Amino acid sequence: MTTGPWDDWNHILKIDPDKELPEGVTYGDLCATGTDAIEVGGTMGITEEKMEAVVDACAEHDVPLYQEPSSPDVVIDNRALEGYLIPTVFNAGSPFWITGAHKDWVRTDDDMDWDRTWTEAYVVMNPEADVAEYTEADCDLEPADVAAYAEVAERMFGQEIVYLEYSGTLGDEDVVEAASEAIDETTLFYGGGIHDYDSAASMAQYADVIVVGDLAHDEGVEAVRETVEAARDA
């Protein structure tokens, strides 16, 4: 399996273009938290214009930028981006979110930048989250089920990233541990419910990379910086 830039990461800050930042906080402030990379993406209310605005605001700062598009029609061509991280939702209820949207993108883009495009094998775990409803995900999974999805992603589909997405709630440590133990070379991302040092540390003990999103919009810079420290300490 090839290596990716995320092999050296501990922390990703995910910025939702449809959400405001706390008063007095700038994108530059967030870029200076020590995060290893910034991922620009969200589920609802996303447009090309909103994507461009966030990428442009972060571009002048020395942090790798990636777009995580929720659908093909919001993909932007911006040279400030290091690349694209494309979700493929393994437990989606519709094949559209496994390969269908991806087929549509490739069919309509005559100049796919494959050298800067990677997939993330998502397993969505919070049934209350927008992404679960959006993809009709089956979230009623035991640790063994999630471990099996992770192993399938690595062994059968050659995925370089498995992403456990709890979006909005802190995950079950047993589930994250099971996924971690099921894979060898694939990198395990974890996202959802991280709100301070301790919650970040609880997930970072098993995940290779923790993804922090809502915290930046709800609390701001110092809260994000705490999670960066926890990820590095794990």
Binding site residue list for Mg(2+): 16, 43
Closest CA to 190 of 226, 181, 174, 206: 206
Closest CA to 123 of 165, 185, 153, 177: 165
Q: Are 151 and 179 spatial neighbours (Cβ–Cβ below 8 Å)?
A: no
Q: Are 41 and 67 spatial neighbours (Cβ–Cβ below 8 Å)?
A: yes
Tokens of 107: 């069919």
Binding residues, by number, are: 14, 16, 43, 163-168, 193, 213-214
* Separation of first and last alpha carbons in the chain: 25
Torsion (CA) 97, 129, 5, 75 in degrees, nearest 10: 50
Element (H, E) at 122: strand 117-124
Binding residues for sn-glycerol 1-phosphate, by number, are: 14, 163-168, 193, 213-214
